[in-house]
Amino acid sequence: MADYRKQGDVAVLHANNPPVNALSYHVRQGLYDGIEAAEKDPSVKCIVICGKGKTFPVGADIREFASGSAKKFPNLIEVCDKIEACTKPVVAAIHGFALGGGLEISLGCHYRIGGTSCKVGFPEVNIGVLPGAGGTQRLPRVIGLKPSLDIITSGCHVGAKEALKLGILDKIVQGDVVTEGIKFAKSVQNQPLHGRRVSTMAVPDVSQANALCNSAMAEVKRKSSGLLAPVACVKSLRVAAQTPYKDGIKIESALMLQLMTSGQAKALQYAFFAERLASKWQVPGGASHATVTPRPVKSCAVVGGGYMGSGIVMCILNAGLPCILVEANQKFLDRGIKMIQGLYAGSVKLGKMSEQDAKKTLSLLKPTLRYEDLKDVDVVIEAVFEDMKLKQEVFGKLDKVCKKDALLCSNTSTLNIDKIASATRRPDRVMGMHFFAPAYYMKLLENIRGAETSPQTVATVTQLSVKIGKVPVLVGNCHGFVGNRMMAPYTTEAQRLLEEGAYPHQVDQVIEEFGIPIGPLKVGDLTGLDVSWKITREVSRMLGLDHTKREDVEPFGLYFPVRNALYEKGRLGRKTGAGFYKYEKAGSKVAIPDPLVMDIIDHHCREEGIDRRRIPPQEIYERCLYSLINEGFKTLEEGIAARPEDVDIIWLLGYGWPRYTGGPMHFASQIGLRRLYGRIEYYHNKYPDRDHWTPSRLLKTLSQQEHPVPLAQWGQFASTTSRL
Ligand SMILES: CCCCCCCCCCCCCC(=O)CC(=O)SCCNC(=O)CCNC(=O)[C@H](O)C(C)(C)COP(=O)(O)OP(=O)(O)OC[C@H]1O[C@@H](n2cnc3c(N)ncnc32)[C@H](O)[C@@H]1OP(=O)(O)O
Ligand SMILES: NC(=O)C1=CN([C@@H]2O[C@H](COP(=O)(O)OP(=O)(O)OC[C@H]3O[C@@H](n4cnc5c(N)ncnc54)[C@H](O)[C@@H]3O)[C@@H](O)[C@H]2O)C=CC1
């Protein structure tokens, strides 16, 4: 898995492990043996290491961490040390990415050259480990501690120009990087190697080591509280400044071994692969991403240029696709355009985009008030108000004006896609595309398949989603789909806890300590209590209930007396400076616990004859999180979510679930399904009137298996419990 060839007196070693040349055992062995062969061959004067296909090696093979093969001889440390010890000059010729172990290989080389578009970096923190093949010991010896701390603790990629400036690259080359690597190697083949072996160098800014590492440690603890890997990276980098390489590498290895076996690393690596699995869809009947060819999409349109629509337009424009924006009237059209222009102006100001690029991108936008202008577009995404009647009216119009093979998609957050599709004569070409706010930033896209949506529509929408920079997850059609459906029991329990003894800040604190950045009641204030009040009213109407009558709505989990009392007092959340919390002023972000709210809650309880009790944090934790997880299992047993990995990606990318726990389903597997089921059954017995505590049948089945069923096999049990 590393090809060895000779070109004159140069040995060229190609890492060959498609698609990204991950450094699995055979690649490491190939590189190790290649160096040995070149060393022994008297006709070889110098060596070039490069990657076959689209990239230089992008790092260790992550799958080998779990299997233990990463430690097998020669491990990456041994490969890097072998390269460095070679008595003939070794040049890394980098194209594509040199990440993690790939960058470590190149730091073992005596010289590094790169193509103009190459990128280097140490993304290990993102998967819960550190650059454990000498990365934390060699990088600071080349570029100093300060930039090394930044690069290693952030996991960010560094472009070629910056890498040259820092000294990671010795040269940027145009054209074929291997040809240039060979030329470069020949030019240095007679140069002495002492001074080129990085492990023998001193860290240049060693005198500032303590100050730099102390401040980096404070920063990683502030930014990523609870994460093990960034802390270990700083520790290991401090060692590099204080210790010779041969001792430093031992400490780095010890830290790496601790991290590799941590729950955080397992969860983060699971999330890495789950994210890549998301776009690989399959529908009942067998059609899948591998069998269905998507239609080409050359142009799009968005209907409704409000908060969501304007963000969706930007995603489309950023992908280089022309986009028409339709609004209901000139005032709202102008407002939408202004919003889009403002966001691009902001990007230019922040240096994220050149003025020229912003202008070019904006030139792809065509605003209009005429639906007829959409006659030639390939895909339309509707983002008008969340109102079934209006959406059906819009889809009816679109069906008439759009060409017959155009796809019509809705950015609804809860509504029934089949009902929307029924307003058209093309339900096979209708789909939901549920973006998350702000749409130009959030990576998640919940794509909803209706009963009649064709596989080709799924394929085309999935491909478009990836093109506009999203991670698409295909889900089935039900109220709230996967994400918002799971959100419902979580927020319901958060509010119910207020009626039994907790106050808003106590509930939010538990959830925030778990790692979700904003607790459910702060989210309530952010969204607006009027918005959630209206949603309750609409859902009650849909169910034929009177939302003002407690006896009507309570059995359906739609009775929120504290929220209602706050709403009736005009406390609508952040925007009015008061909701579940008080704020310094309207729009302010800092939520302050409010004695007035506690009085309102106490008063409500007295009136209802409720004896408030002290609710332990563990109960808050279980009632909010376990009810949400139980609902997640129900989406799996009903086939609304296809795989547990999909549920996790939705919560990781759409709702701020802490990535180092892997997502609600992975987290459930770590709790243990038997224990989890027991707690859900306990709450079900305690609150039999709350439907969301009815245990999922899939969870029950899985919890009864003799041995824990690996998460990747849960689907096999879902089919036996499915109600579809
Ligand atoms: C006492 C002494 C004992 C000593 C013991 C210690 C010995 C242990 C030594 C171990 C040292 C380990 C050293 C180290 O530094 C660790 C690492 O290198 S960790 C890996 C770091 N690298 C990464 O995290 C890169 C991850 N990849 C990416 O960011 C992207 O893939 C990339 C930007 C490179 C390309 O993006 P894109 O083009 O969008 O492609 P995809 O992301 O879709 O990927 C395509 C395909 O490839 C799979 N893949 C990508 N990277 C890896 C990888 N590193 N390992 C395995 N597989 C990888 C990816 O999953 C996709 O495949 P699918 O089948 O579609 O999932
Ligand atoms: N706000 C959010 O966080 C999220 C909202 N959504 C969904 O996105 C949709 C839009 O929501 P927002 O952007 O927040 O609403 P918004 O109120 O900001 O924008 C809606 C826009 O639609 C326009 N519009 C109304 N009728 C129209 C018509 N017949 N033709 C053309 N334009 C028309 C309005 O003028 C308005 O500008 C809703 O379905 C909502 O549920 C989805 C995800 C998140």
Question: What mean pLDDT do residues 387-413 have?
Answer: 97
* Stated length of the chain: 724
Q: 523 CA to middle of ligand 2, Å?
A: 20
Q: Are 76 and 260 in contact (CB under 8 A)?
A: no
Which pLDDT value is given to residue 723? Answer: 45
Bridge partners of 379, per DSSP, are 300, 407
* Closest residue by CA, ligand 1 atom 4: 253
Residues 232, 359, single domain; the answer is no
Q: How confident is the model at residue 724 (pLDDT cuts 50, 70, 90)?
A: very low
Among all residues, which ones are annotated catalytic? 104, 124
Q: 377 CA to middle of ligand 2, Å?
A: 20
Domain count, the chain: 4
Q: Which of 475, 491, 522 is the last residue of a domain?
A: 475
Residues 591, 670, single domain; the answer is no
Both tokens of residue 237? Answer: 């980098």
266 belongs to a structural domain: no
| 27, 32, 62, 249: residue to mutate for ligand 1 pocket, most atoms within 8 A of CB | 62
Query: Residue 626: phi, psi to the nearest 5?
Result: -70, -30
Which pLDDT value is given to residue 550? Answer: 87
- Amino acid identity of residue 296, one-letter, is P
Q: What is the DSSP secondary structure assignment for residue 596, as one 8-state letter? A: H
Residues 204, 63, single domain; the answer is yes
Residue 188: is it exposed, middle or buried by C-beta count within 10 angstroms (0-12/13-18/19+)? middle
286 belongs to a structural domain: no
- Secondary structure percentages of the chain, helix, strand, coil, to 5: 55, 10, 35
Residues 511, 467, single domain; the answer is no
The CATH number assigned to the domain holding 49 equals 3.90.226.10
Give the number of the atom of ligand 1 that is nearest the alpha carbon of residue 96. 34
Q: Which of 459, 475, 491 is the last residue of a domain?
A: 475
Range of the domain at 369: 300-475
Q: 316 CA to middle of ligand 2, Å?
A: 17
- pLDDT exceeding 90 applies to what percent of the chain? 93
329 belongs to a structural domain: yes
Considering every ligand atom shown, identify the ligand nearest to the alpha carbon of residue 258 and give its number.
1
Which pLDDT value is given to residue 503? Answer: 98
Q: How many CB atoms lie within 10 A of CB 54?
A: 13
Q: Is the peptide bond before 294 cis (omega within 30 degrees of 0)?
A: no
**Distances in Å between the alpha carbon of 268 and those of 62, 229, 275, 536, 660?**
11, 11, 11, 36, 5
Q: Are 274 and 648 in contact (CB under 8 A)?
A: yes
Nearest to 50 by CA among 14, 9, 103: 14
Give one DSSP letter per residue of 169-224, joined into a string.
Answer: -SEEE-S-HHHHHHHHHHHHTTS--TTT-GGGSPPTTGGGHHHHHHHHHHHHHHHT
Q: Which residues contact 71 (CB under 8 A, 6 or more apart)?
A: none
Residues 62, 178, single domain; the answer is yes
Q: Does 722 score more than 60 pLDDT?
A: no
- pLDDT exceeding 70 applies to what percent of the chain? 99
Ligand 2: list residues with CB < 6 Å.
303-309, 326-328, 332, 383-386, 390, 394, 411-413, 435, 437
Q: Are 417 and 396 in contact (CB under 8 A)?
A: no
Is this structure's pTM higher than 0.90? Answer: yes
Q: Are 478 and 631 in contact (CB under 8 A)?
A: no
Ligand 1: list residues with CB < 6 Å.
19-20, 22, 58-63, 70-71, 75-77, 97, 99-101, 104, 123-124, 127, 129, 131-133, 135, 253, 256-257, 273, 276
Which pLDDT value is given to residue 225? Answer: 78
Q: 520 CA to middle of ligand 2, Å?
A: 23
| 340, 380, 385: residue to mutate for ligand 2 pocket, most atoms within 8 A of CB | 385
Q: Which residues contact 351 (CB under 8 A, 6 or more apart)?
A: none
Give the number of the atom of ligand 1 that is nearest the alpha carbon of residue 135. 15
Q: Are 481 and 647 in contact (CB under 8 A)?
A: no
Q: Is the dihedral of CA 277, 638, 463, 122 positive or negative?
A: negative
Which pLDDT value is given to residue 707? Answer: 95
Residues 522, 459, single domain; the answer is no
463 belongs to a structural domain: yes
Q: 662 CA to middle of ligand 1, Å?
A: 17
Q: Are strands 407-410 and 379-382 parallel, antiparallel or unpaired?
A: parallel
Q: Which residues contact 648 (CB under 8 A, 6 or more apart)?
A: 270, 271, 274, 657, 662, 663, 664, 665, 666
356 belongs to a structural domain: yes
Q: Which of 260, 289, 322 is the last residue of a domain?
A: 260
Considering every ligand atom shown, identify the ligand nearest to the alpha carbon of residue 73 and give its number.
1
Residue whose pair of structure tokens reads 């060839």 in the numeric block: 5
Question: What mean pLDDT do residues 525-550 have?
Answer: 90
Residues 117, 32, single domain; the answer is yes
Q: Does 717 score more than 70 pLDDT?
A: yes
Residues 163, 206, single domain; the answer is yes
Question: What is the tens place of the pLDDT at every residue in 189-222?
Answer: 999 998 999 999 999 999 999 999 999 999 999 9
Residues 597, 638, single domain; the answer is no
Which pLDDT value is given to residue 241? Answer: 93
**Distances in Å between the alpha carbon of 511 and those of 115, 566, 582?**
46, 22, 19
What's the CA gap between 159 and 117, in Å, rounded? 7
Give the number of the atom of ligand 2 that is nearest the alpha carbon of residue 386. 39
216 belongs to a structural domain: yes
Residues 465, 566, single domain; the answer is no
What's the CA gap between 665 and 278, in Å, rounded? 15
The CATH number assigned to the domain holding 386 equals 3.40.50.720
What's the CA gap between 130 and 253, in Å, rounded? 9
614 belongs to a structural domain: no
The CATH number assigned to the domain holding 592 equals 1.10.1040.10
Q: What is the DSSP secondary structure assignment for residue 328, as one 8-state letter? A: S
Considering every ligand atom shown, identify the ligand nearest to the alpha carbon of residue 119 and give its number.
1
Residues 604, 640, single domain; the answer is no
Considering every ligand atom shown, identify the ligand nearest to the alpha carbon of residue 130 and give its number.
1
Q: 310 CA to middle of ligand 2, Å?
A: 9
Give the number of the atom of ligand 2 that is nearest the alpha carbon of residue 308. 13
Residue 519: is it exposed, middle or buried by C-beta count within 10 angstroms (0-12/13-18/19+)? buried
Give the number of the atom of ligand 1 that is nearest the alpha carbon of residue 122. 21
Both tokens of residue 544? Answer: 């034929």
489 belongs to a structural domain: no
Both tokens of residue 695? Answer: 């245990």
Q: 60 CA to middle of ligand 1, Å?
A: 5
Both tokens of residue 177? Answer: 């990087």
What's the CA gap between 506 and 357, in Å, rounded? 47
Question: What mean pLDDT do residues 561-581 have?
Answer: 96
What's the CA gap between 209 and 464, in Å, rounded? 48
Q: What is the DSSP secondary structure assignment for residue 144, as one 8-state letter? A: -
Question: What is the tens place of the pLDDT at every residue in 49-78?
Answer: 999 999 999 999 999 998 989 999 999 999
* Closest residue by CA, ligand 1 atom 40: 20
Average pLDDT, the chain: 96
**Distances in Å between the alpha carbon of 403 and those of 305, 320, 377?**
22, 22, 8
What's the CA gap between 217 and 134, in Å, rounded? 20
Q: How confident is the model at residue 625 (pLDDT cuts 50, 70, 90)?
A: very high
Question: What is the tens place of the pLDDT at every residue in 231-274?
Answer: 999 999 999 999 999 999 999 999 999 999 999 999 999 999 99
| 1, 20, 268: residue to mutate for ligand 1 pocket, most atoms within 8 A of CB | 20
Question: What is the tens place of the pLDDT at every residue in 409-459?
Answer: 999 998 999 999 999 999 999 999 999 999 999 999 999 999 999 999 999
Q: Does 663 score more than 50 pLDDT?
A: yes
Considering every ligand atom shown, identify the ligand nearest to the alpha carbon of residue 417 and give its number.
2
Dihedral, CA atoms, 476, 482, 486, 488, nearest 10 degrees? -80
Q: Are 536 and 558 in contact (CB under 8 A)?
A: yes
Residues 86, 166, single domain; the answer is yes
Q: 490 CA to middle of ligand 2, Å?
A: 25
Q: Does 565 score more than 80 pLDDT?
A: yes
Q: 651 CA to middle of ligand 1, Å?
A: 23
Residue whose pair of structure tokens reads 């309570």 in the numeric block: 554
Report the phi/psi class of residue 351: left, alpha or beta, with left for phi > 0 and alpha for psi in -120 to 50. left
